[in-house]
Amino acid sequence: MDNIFSGLSLIIVIGAVVSVFMRWLRQPLMIGYIITGIIVGPAVLHITKSPDTLTVFGEIGIALLLFIIGLGMNPRVAREVGKPSIITALAHMSITGTVGWCVLVLLGLSHGAAVFVAIGLTINSTIVALKLLSDKKEQGRLHGKLTVGVLVVEDIIAAVLLLFIASAHDGQWLSFGPLIELAFKVALVGVAMYLLNKEVLPRVQKIVASDQELLFLTAIAIGLGSAALMAKIGLS
pLDDT in the model for residue 69? 64
Q: Give the span between the Cα atoms of 23 and 33, in whole angstroms.
A: 12
pLDDT in the model for residue 30? 80
Q: Give the span between the Cα atoms of 175 and 166, in whole angstroms.
A: 11
* Percentage of residues in the chain having pLDDT higher than 90: 2
pLDDT in the model for residue 45? 79
Q: Give the span between the Cα atoms of 49 and 58, in whole angstroms.
A: 14
User: pTM of the predicted model, to two decimals?
Assistant: 0.60
pLDDT in the model for residue 170? 45
List Cα–Cα distances, 55 to 2, 45, 51, 59, 131, in angstroms: 15, 17, 6, 6, 21
Q: Give the span between the Cα atoms of 17 and 23, in whole angstroms.
A: 10
Average pLDDT by stretches of 10, the chain with 236 residues? 71 88 85 85 76 73 71 65 82 88 87 80 76 74 79 76 61 58 76 80 80 79 79 70
Q: What is the pLDDT of residues 132-188, one digit of tens each?
A: 777 777 777 777 778 877 887 887 777 677 666 665 544 445 556 666 777 777 778
